[in-house]
Amino acid sequence: MSREIFDSLEFDAAASGDHAAAAREMTRLATIGTETAAMPRAEAFLRIGDQWLQADEPAEAADWFRRALADGGQVSVDPRVGLARALFQLGRQRDAQDLIHSLKAEGPTDPRTCDLAAELLVDCGDLAGALDWATTGVELCLAAGRDADSGEENPELRLLLRLRFRVRNDLGLPEDGYDALLDEA
């Protein structure tokens, strides 16, 4: 297993639209491959789950996100966000909401997780919840010393600021200090 191979499979799937084929090949590689420092098993499981989600196979995706959680290894983003998305797609709104609430209660520490949770909540029509997650992500970026002066170097901050602005606009809220950071970035 290597990030490069998974990256290539994801790129090809994005170009062709055949995410199921990518997920099947990634599954094969994860099954026969060994964990490496460059690609922890939990990360492979997370990425397989993402491909199944994009293939519109939420039950299969949920299984892989659960595997990533059970593995407990290092991942690029909390698998519970992907699992929540799969559960929403499966009509299990309460279970999905419980996952999002538990993540929030733990106090998010990763801006990318905040971004994905906010996007999920926008998709579900929960704009107030999305705004809260996006704001938390912005605050995490800023607390880590990622300021708007280097927006090009900090794409996650820019993404979160844009998402937050869009949600605030949809809610009819006036511009605030964080929105002004987007203008400066």
3-state secondary structure of 130: helix
User: Per mean pLDDT, which range of 9-23, 67-81, 85-99, 144-158 is the poorest?
Assistant: 144-158
Give the pair of three-digit tokens for residue 82: 């992907």
pLDDT confidence of residue 185: 57
Q: What is the rounded average pLDDT of the residues 26-44?
A: 80
Count how many residues are written for the chain.
Answer: 185
H-type helices in 17-110, by residue range? 19-32, 41-54, 58-71, 79-89, 93-106
DSSP label of 153 = T
Helix, strand, or coil (residue 155): helix
How far does the chain reach from its first CA to its final CA, in angstroms? 37
Q: Which residues contact 40 (CB under 8 A, 6 or more apart)?
A: 71, 73, 74, 75
